[in-house]
Amino acid sequence: MHVASPKTAVPVELEQLAADCAAKSKRRAVWLRVGQLIDGFGDNACPDANIVFDAKQIHFVGGPPPAELLPAGQRKPDAELPQHTIMPCLIEAHAHMFLDGTIIDFAARQLGLQQDTNAMLAHARARWPRILASGVGAVRDAGDNRTVGLALAAEAKTMQNKLAASPWIDSPGAAIHHRGRYGAFMGEPIEDFSSAEQCVASRVDRGADRIKLLVSGVIDFEAGRVTTPPQMQAAEIATLVEAASRYGRQTFAHASGTEGIGHAIAGGVTSIEHGYFVTEDQLSRMRDAKIAWVPTLAPVQAQIDHANRLEWNAQVVGHLRRITETHQEMLRVGYRKGVDILAGSDGGSCGVPHGEGLLRELCHMEDAGIPTMGVLQGATGASARVLGFGERIGRLAAGYRGRMILTRHDPLKTVANLQKEKTVLFDGEVATDSRPVDANKH
């Protein structure tokens, strides 16, 4: 394991060097030797590793590369970075691209929702460079009924297997909910159709890559629990899951509250989103049924962090802390049991900015007690394995896309190091996040 962060390192030099390598990678294979390589799926980092890649893909990872992969006569790496770690770009498993997470105040958020679709889409497109620079290379949009996610996903598909300038994204379009129940701001009611099957068919017709189900309501922070019964029963969920699978689509279920989570598990969804108030027994069943969990700690933590502006009193803050502590404990239990725990920040929700929000979510997962490598896997290789994206991402291995984070701040010491300056190599371009080092990770 290498020792990161020598005081003498000058990030500007790395920037230049990375830019040179990126430019070369558009013409030929580039050979980098790094102090540490995290491949996104292995349990151990690889010290003193070599990686050979071009703008399109990675060709080799490991010891000395075979000569036939290198330009004729090349015997030395194009760059040696003994103090640096390289790892795959991060995957954001849960974000709402039509929403602006920097907006805290309720009235301003309501106003934001009144924008027309073109304005929302323009804002979302404008956020890409910052999201990419934060290290996020792919997003699973978690639903909107304004077609922003679908439009971004369609744009990404035009660049599939090509050199893209922005992260990969796919989207479910409008989430499915019941008329009059939670989720009207991001979903459309199943009652618009004569059957669950027709509802799913219509989503797929509009371009949905996945099917998002709103199975429960949300946590009532003032009550400190989910106060409404689930809006979907297990049989209905199973029908929707079955219909989705006929089109080769995964399903993901917004579910908080023990009862709703139980219905989502029994219905056989691909993943449970949020999952607040999950039980130990339910975690065992999720592991056995290979249902993943995206615990989204960030939005509840944001309520605590912004309690004053949100005018939460001491009692509500007490609820929020208790809910978070219980959730953290269930995260440890789930991890121990072998549940696939994936990193998703609920970016776009109140106080959770896109890009940065995922970096915070990783810190929350680490703070909860998930081993650092487990957190990184949940944001790279495990996420890619479970969610099956339309690009070969999430791992550093031959055949995968050359979308990588290069940093002198060892992410295995703490994932908070990913919030420090770093360089993102992405399809032959570089994106640099050179914000001043911020000791405060929230």
Q: Which residues bind Zn ion (CB under 5 A)?
A: 142, 346
Cα–Cα dist 179/31, whole Å: 56
> Least distance in Å: CB of 131 to Zn ion?
16
290: left (phi over 0), alpha (psi -120 to 50) or beta: left
How many Å apart are CA 28 and CA 52, to the nearest integer? 10
- Shortest Å distance, C-beta 344 to Zn ion: 8
| Spatial separation of the C-alpha atoms in residues 389 and 295, rounded to whole Å | 20
**CA-atom Rg of the chain in angstroms:** 22
Nearest to Zn ion of 78, 346 (CB atom): 346
CB atoms within 10 A of CB 9: 15
Instruction: Select 4 or 136, whichever has its Cβ closest to Zn ion.
Output: 136
Cβ-based nearer residue to Zn ion, 267 or 344? 344
HEC readout, 135-149: CEEEEEECCCCCCHH
Q: Give the residue with the Cβ less far from Zn ion, 133 or 142.
A: 142
Residue owning tokens 């998002």: 212
The DSSP bridge partners found for residue 252 are 212, 271
141 and 155 in contact (C-beta within 8 Å)? no
Q: How far is CA 395 from the centre of its chain?
A: 14
Q: CB of 177: closest distance to Zn ion in angstroms?
A: 12
Q: Which is nearer to Zn ion, 41 or 185 (CB)?
A: 185
Q: Which of 317, 377, 353 is nearest to 435 (CA)?
A: 353
- Beta strand 403-407 pairing with 422-426: antiparallel
Of the pair 142, 164, the CB lying nearest Zn ion is at: 142
Alpha-carbon gap, residue 355 to 97, rounded angstroms: 11
| Nearest distance from C-beta of residue 175 to Zn ion, angstroms | 9
User: With the C-alpha atoms ordered 204, 207, 212, 218, is the resulting torsion angle positive or negative?
Assistant: negative
Q: Which is nearer to Zn ion, 296 or 372 (CB)?
A: 296
Q: What CA–CA distance (Å, rounded) separates 287 from 109?
A: 37
CB of 406 to Zn ion, least distance (A): 30
Shortest distance (Å) from residue 224 CB to Zn ion: 20
3-state secondary structure of 373: helix
Q: For residue 273, with 0-12 CB atoms within 10 Å meaning exposed, 13-18 middle and 19 or more buried, which class applies? A: buried
Considering beta carbons, is residue 236 or 346 the nearer one to Zn ion? 346
3-class DSSP state of 33: strand
Residue 222, phi-psi category: left (phi > 0), alpha (psi -120 to 50), beta (remainder): alpha
> Closer to Zn ion at the Cβ: 77 or 348?
348
Shortest spacing between CB 212 and Zn ion, in angstroms: 9
Between 142 and 297, name the residue whose CB sits nearer to Zn ion: 142
Which residue, 299 or 428, is less far from Zn ion as judged by CB?
299
Enumerate residues 6+ apart whose C-beta is below 8 A from 188. Answer: 145, 174, 175, 176, 177
**Least Å from the CB of residue 94 to Zn ion:** 6
Distance in angstroms (rounded) separating the CA atoms of residues 11 and 437? 12
Question: What token pair was written down for 137?
Answer: 């290379």
Task: Find the shortest distance in angstroms from Cβ 162 to Zn ion.
Answer: 30
